[in-house]
């Protein structure tokens, strides 16, 4: 029988490896930026065209490569960082596997220009699909320039799986953020389709965060700093009042390398326990410095997941450090045992000798004494009594009946016949308790656990999910307004100012026209500021920022493909943000109104996310439950 196992050709093996390393243009950006950092560059330029599908170019002023190294860098498992297996546990650099450039060259057109400072001229290398096309001497600045063109040109199936330019560009920007935040000592510049998107100068960590996410971010940050034998934590966390519904601004860096860790993220969430509303997520930008021997980076192709030797200790230290910072800067509530300063003794009385107060009592006072006779012991009372006696013409106690002379005749004149008194509210008050005039009301809906609306139908029972049903109602209403451009706006007394990052502002500009059709009125959209003077009628002012944040998050992560409709996504996002949430109590008329509006929709059976809005249970099904 013939042998059936054979070695794969190098170009096929490289394409298979590329499937692990290069998933989208953002993966190329990550690998090239990390190589530039390893080269010791302090200025790095990133050039993007068509969200990286056409061009991804990284230019650095690092130490460059010799002609031999330039050629070997595109071979599989060729690296200058590792010489033995023990070096895997002493990693202080980014790229160490030697697979990135070989994988990229297998699925794209790559042009490399590099020059060392000691050489007068550099070297240029052109590779297409793992095949070296040319290698020449060129004049180029010191450093390295890598241009990756036509990604996945020889794997059309992979290219078809790429998302729209908006989504792919967002992934590229995310990778740019992660590398730039981890290295504030390096200057980064990013160009997108010929225009400058970011220009980040060398700065400290706080200033780098502000340069990326906008000037308004500065007031949201709380510093975190804790040094222990096991872990050194530094960075910032966001104040609870600026928490968002999305997890966008959450960054962990371990030894200047971005990682994802649900376990450590739970430690941050635990530190914020009791400070955040349900469903809100705090921002954080934390650098963790640990011993390289205590972590294993080589467990994931993209190196975004790390295995720690002692996760429980790191969890406790991280949670305590964040909690300490929140308490130290008066973010977290604390028990205050300070006394009220108003109760303190004034300075003028501190040296005063304490004296017992004297109480004077008029022991000769007799309340039953004749009022006409003055008191001997109290001159004040005697004068008051004598004046009273003079006003009454010195009447004695025997003349007390004279005080009531004439009162009887006056009282007879003012007698009122209460049988003739009419009260305006008499009939209304009696009608409440009068059973003859009561209208018998029958309620056909009931709310169950503040989540479902139960209603009776001819065949049995109808159970409606109030959140999904209201989503469907609002979705069709917003869609109708945007299509007919008849959104009704409610003017605000004071303009509402919202701050976003430059990338978020770009998304707002893309959706501005559709938002205006729903009823939003924008007076100004700046680089970091959005000013709103009008909102749709059924949108509360307090919900505007939440709606826009949710909308931006949906556009960034949930855009399906090139057939995507901005109007449809906008209607879905706004409906999801404004719909009645689970746990909200509804009155009887509100329940009935929601049921009527749902069944007036074109498609009441499913929510905008294609989930069932109601279920029915017939009488026969109920009868079977009692068998």
DSSP 31-75: HHHHHHHHTT-SEEEEEEEGGGTSEEEEEE-S----HHHHHHTTS
Asked if residue 179 and residue 65 are part of one domain, the reply reads yes
In a domain, 571, yes or no: yes
Asked if residue 78 and residue 119 are part of one domain, the reply reads yes
**pLDDT tier, 320 (very low <50, low <70, confident <90, very high otherwise):** very high
Of 118-122, 171-175, 456-460, the one with minimum mean pLDDT is: 456-460
Asked if residue 491 and residue 550 are part of one domain, the reply reads yes
Could you tell me the two tokens for 464? 């409606």
Q: Which residue has the higher pLDDT, 78 or 444?
A: 444
Res 327 pLDDT > 90:
no
Do 10 and 159 touch, CB atoms closer than 8 A? Answer: no
**pLDDT tier, 46 (very low <50, low <70, confident <90, very high otherwise):** very high
pLDDT for 48: 94
pTM: 0.65
Of 24-28, 96-100, 503-507, 583-587, the one with minimum mean pLDDT is: 96-100
Q: What is the pLDDT of residues 97-135, one digit of tens each?
A: 456 788 888 888 999 999 999 888 999 999 988 888 888
Task: Give the residue from 303, 62, 298, 31 showing the smallest Cα distance to 175.
Answer: 31
pLDDT for 403: 61
Of 146-150, 297-301, 525-529, the one with minimum mean pLDDT is: 297-301
Res 426 pLDDT > 50:
no
pLDDT for 550: 77
Do 14 and 159 touch, CB atoms closer than 8 A? Answer: no
Q: For the chain, what percent of residues have pLDDT higher than 90?
A: 17
Burial of 33 per CB tally in 10 Å (0-12, 13-18, 19+)? buried
Identify the domain boundary among 280, 296, 328.
Answer: 328
pLDDT for 441: 41
Q: What is the pLDDT of residues 479-512, one digit of tens each?
A: 887 777 666 788 888 888 888 887 788 888 888 8
pLDDT for 109: 92
In a domain, 77, yes or no: yes
Do 182 and 258 touch, CB atoms closer than 8 A? Answer: yes
Res 452 pLDDT > 80:
yes
pLDDT for 206: 92
Asked if residue 211 and residue 196 are part of one domain, the reply reads no
Asked if residue 210 and residue 190 are part of one domain, the reply reads no
Of 180-189, 430-439, 595-604, the one with minimum mean pLDDT is: 430-439
Q: Which residue has the higher pLDDT, 306 or 194?
A: 194
Average pLDDT, stretch 176-182? 92
Q: What is the mean pLDDT of the chain?
A: 78
Average pLDDT, stretch 71-94? 63
Average pLDDT, stretch 158-173? 84
Q: Which residue has the higher pLDDT, 107 or 294?
A: 107
Average pLDDT, stretch 403-407? 61
pLDDT for 372: 57
Asked if residue 210 and residue 104 are part of one domain, the reply reads no
Burial of 593 per CB tally in 10 Å (0-12, 13-18, 19+)? middle
Asked if residue 611 and residue 493 are part of one domain, the reply reads yes
Q: For the chain, what percent of residues have pLDDT higher than 70?
A: 75
Identify the domain boundary among 200, 230, 258.
Answer: 200
Res 180 pLDDT > 90:
yes
CA distances from 267 to 291, 308, 330, 585 (A): 20, 15, 20, 33
- Which residues, 6+ apart, have CB-to-CB distance to 185 below 8 Å? 42, 202
The structural domain count of the chain equals 3
**pLDDT tier, 138 (very low <50, low <70, confident <90, very high otherwise):** very high
Q: CA–CA separation, 51 vs 31, rounded Å?
A: 16
pLDDT for 44: 94
Task: Give the residue from 217, 9, 41, 177 showing the smallest Cα distance to 117.
Answer: 41
**pLDDT tier, 189 (very low <50, low <70, confident <90, very high otherwise):** very high
Of 58-67, 120-129, 561-570, the one with minimum mean pLDDT is: 561-570
pLDDT for 433: 40
pLDDT for 187: 94
Res 353 pLDDT > 80:
no
Asked if residue 41 and residue 130 are part of one domain, the reply reads yes
Could you tell me the two tokens for 532? 């709103």
pLDDT for 78: 64
Asked if residue 244 and residue 167 are part of one domain, the reply reads no
CATH of the domain at 571: 3.30.1370.100
Asked if residue 557 and residue 456 are part of one domain, the reply reads yes
Distance of CA 257 to the CA centre of its chain: 24
Give the number of other CB atoms < 10 A from CB of residue 491.
9
In a domain, 361, yes or no: no
CATH of the domain at 96: 3.30.565.10
CATH of the domain at 243: 3.30.230.10
Q: How many helices (H) and strands (E) does the chain have?
A: 18, 22
DSSP assignments along 594-616, one per residue: HHHHHTTSS-TTB-TTS-B-EEE
**pLDDT tier, 428 (very low <50, low <70, confident <90, very high otherwise):** very low
Q: What is the pLDDT of residues 226-261, one digit of tens each?
A: 998 888 999 999 988 888 877 778 899 988 888 888
Highest average pLDDT, of 108-122, 347-361, 375-389, comes from 108-122
Give the number of other CB atoms < 10 A from CB of residue 45.
18
In a domain, 421, yes or no: no
**Angle at 265 (CA atoms; ends 262, 270), nearest 5 degrees:** 125
Average pLDDT, stretch 49-56? 91
pLDDT for 215: 82
**Residue ranges making up the domain that contains 313:** 205-328
Asked if residue 278 and residue 176 are part of one domain, the reply reads no
Asked if residue 157 and residue 258 are part of one domain, the reply reads no
pLDDT for 419: 58
In a domain, 401, yes or no: no
In a domain, 453, yes or no: yes
pLDDT for 16: 64
In a domain, 503, yes or no: yes
Q: Which residue has the higher pLDDT, 627 or 564?
A: 627
In a domain, 437, yes or no: no
Res 35 pLDDT > 70:
yes
Identify the domain boundary among 284, 309, 328.
Answer: 328
With tokens 């989504």, the residue in question is 167
């Amino acid at each position: 029988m013939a042998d059936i196992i054979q070695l794969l050709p190098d170009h096929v093996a490289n394409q298979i490896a590329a499937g692990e390393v290069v998933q989208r243009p953002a993966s190329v950006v990550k690998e090239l930026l990390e190589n530039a950092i390893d080269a010791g560059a302090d200025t790095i330029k990133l050039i993007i065209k068509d969200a990286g599908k056409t061009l991804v170019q990284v230019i650095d002023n690092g130490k460059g490569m010799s002609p031999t190294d330039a050629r070997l860098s595109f071979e599989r498992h060729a690296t200058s960082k590792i010489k033995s297996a023990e070096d895997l546990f002493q990693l202080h650099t980014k790229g160490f596997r030697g697979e990135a450039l070989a994988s990229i060259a297998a699925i794209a057109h790559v042009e490399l220009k590099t020059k060392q400072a000691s050489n007068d001229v550099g070297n240029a290398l052109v590779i297409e699909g793992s095949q070296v096309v040319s290698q020449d001497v060129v004049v180029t600045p010191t450093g390295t320039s890598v241009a990756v063109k036509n990604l996945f040109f020889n794997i059309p199936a992979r290219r078809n799986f790429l998302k729209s330019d908006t989504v792919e560009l967002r992934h590229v920007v995310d990778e740019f953020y992660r590398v730039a935040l981890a290295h504030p000592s390096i200057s980064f510049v990013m160009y997108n389709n010929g225009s400058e998107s970011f220009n980040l100068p060398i700065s400290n960590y706080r200033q780098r965060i502000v340069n990326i996410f906008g000037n308004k971010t500065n007031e949201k940050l709380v510093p975190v700093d804790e040094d222990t034998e096991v872990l050194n934590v530094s960075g910032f966390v966001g104040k609870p009042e600026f928490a968002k519904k999305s997890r966008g601004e959450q960054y962990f860096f371990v030894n200047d390398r971005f990682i994802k860790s649900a376990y450590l993220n739970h430690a941050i969430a635990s530190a914020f326990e009791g400070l955040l509303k349900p469903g809100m997520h705090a921002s954080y930008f934390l650098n963790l410095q640990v011993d390289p021997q205590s972590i294993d980076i080589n467990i994931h192709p993209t190196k975004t997941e790390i295995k720690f030797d002692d996760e429980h200790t790191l969890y406790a230290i991280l949670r305590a450090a964040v909690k300490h910072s929140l308490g130290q800067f008066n973010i977290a509530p604390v028990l205050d045992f300070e006394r009220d300063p108003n109760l303190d003794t004034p300075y003028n009385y501190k040296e005063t000798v304490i004296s017992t107060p004297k109480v004077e009592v008029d022991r000769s006072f007799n309340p039953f004494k004749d009022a006409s006779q003055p008191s001997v012991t109290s001159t004040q009372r005697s004068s008051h009594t004598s004046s009273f006696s003079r006003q009454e013409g010195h009447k004695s106690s025997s003349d007390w009946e004279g005080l009531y002379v004439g009162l009887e005749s006056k009282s007879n004149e003012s007698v009122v016949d209460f049988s003739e008194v009419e009260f305006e509210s008499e009939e209304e008050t009696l009608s409440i308790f009068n059973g003859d005039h009561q209208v018998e009301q029958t309620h056909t809906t009931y709310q169950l656990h503040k989540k479902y609306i139960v209603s009776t139908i001819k065949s049995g029972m109808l159970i409606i999910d109030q959140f999904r049903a209201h989503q469907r109602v609002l979705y069709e209403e917003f869609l109708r307004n945007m299509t007919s451009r008849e959104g009704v706006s409610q003017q605000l007394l004071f303009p509402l100012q919202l701050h976003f990052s430059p990338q978020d502002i770009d998304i707002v500009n893309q959706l501005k026209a559709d938002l205006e059709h729903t009823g939003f009125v924008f007076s100004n959209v700046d680089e970091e500021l959005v000013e709103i003077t009008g909102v749709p009628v059924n949108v509360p002012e307090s919900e505007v920022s939440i709606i826009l944040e949710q909308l931006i998050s949906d556009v960034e992560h949930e855009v399906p493909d090139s057939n995507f409709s901005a109007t449809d996504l906008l209607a879905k996002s706004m409906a999801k943000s404004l719909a009645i949430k689970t746990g909200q109590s509804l009155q009887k008329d509100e329940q009935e109104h929601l049921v009527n509006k749902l069944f007036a929709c074109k498609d009441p059976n499913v929510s905008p996310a294609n989930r069932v809005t109601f279920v029915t249970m017939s009488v026969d099904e109920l009868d079977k439950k009692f068998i």
